[in-house]
């Protein structure tokens, strides 16, 4: 059996039409994260009390974001 030339486009259109708003937000978030990582690859030195660490900036910023999210998540009072 042979496929028609436009059949591949119909499959792609079907895939994109099934994406929900939540899927689009996740895709845009992943693209933003990739751009963020690519723009913050330089190595930096972080001094915290007696600890000195050299690592890419995006790792430190991601760790601070994760710590902040965890603090917010566990300090939220349920009604």
The number of CA neighbours under 13 Å toward the Cβ of 42 is 4
* Cα 79 from Cα 65, distance rounded (Å): 26
pLDDT digits (tens, 9 = 90+) for 22-62: 888 888 988 998 898 889 889 999 998 999 999 999 888 88
3-state SS of the chain is CCCCCCHHHHHHHHHHHCCCHHHHHHHHHHHHHHHHHHHCCCEEEEEECCEEEEEEHHHHHHHHHHHHHHHHHHHCCCC
Total-model pTM: 0.57
What is residue 68's predicted lDDT score, i.e. its pLDDT?
Answer: 86
């Amino acid at each position: 059996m042979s496929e028609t030339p436009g059949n591949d486009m119909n499959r792609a259109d079907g895939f994109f039409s099934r994406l929900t708003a939540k899927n689009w937000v996740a895709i845009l978030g992943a693209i933003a994260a990739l751009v963020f990582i690519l723009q913050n690859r330089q190595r930096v030195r972080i001094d915290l009390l007696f600890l000195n660490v050299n690592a890419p900036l995006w790792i430190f910023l991601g760790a601070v974001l994760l710590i902040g999210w965890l603090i917010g998540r566990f300090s939220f009072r349920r009604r």
